[in-house]
Amino acid sequence: MLLVDITLVFNGKSKVIENMVLDTGAARTLISQNVVEDIGLQVDLHDRIVTYFGVGGKEHAFRKQVDQIQISGFTVDEIEIDFNDFGYDDINGLLGLGLLMRAGFTIDLLHLQMDRTI
């Protein structure tokens, strides 16, 4: 697996989230809600509840706009990210294709690296 760290900013509070799986099979980025609770990011009445269907069956998540996501020197402001009870101890989420494409990353599978050449 190709693991990356990201920095998430929510309501002015910053959090480095380690061990995000680079997942080109995931359309959206999904982060464990457990790793962001300490910066006050929790589900509330205004969040949209979404359903995922995949190999593991059906999962639910809440979608929330965050102030910023930073990945390897690339920054996206005011982006919606999905959060759920991810259920893994050693993985904190999936870095999905939508965000990877928006950033313009090139993925080098031979060396397990990603780079932004744009």
Residue 65 CB partners (closer than 8 Å, separation 6+)? 78, 79, 80, 81
Closest CA to 17 of 61, 79, 83, 64: 83
102 sits in which H/E element: helix 97-103
99 sits in which H/E element: helix 97-103
Class of the CATH-defined domain 3-116: mainly beta
Give the pLDDT confidence of 17-51 residue by residue, as tens digits. Answer: 999 999 988 899 999 999 999 999 999 999 999 99
Give the pLDDT confidence of 56-87 residue by residue, as tens digits. Answer: 778 889 999 999 999 988 899 999 999 998 77
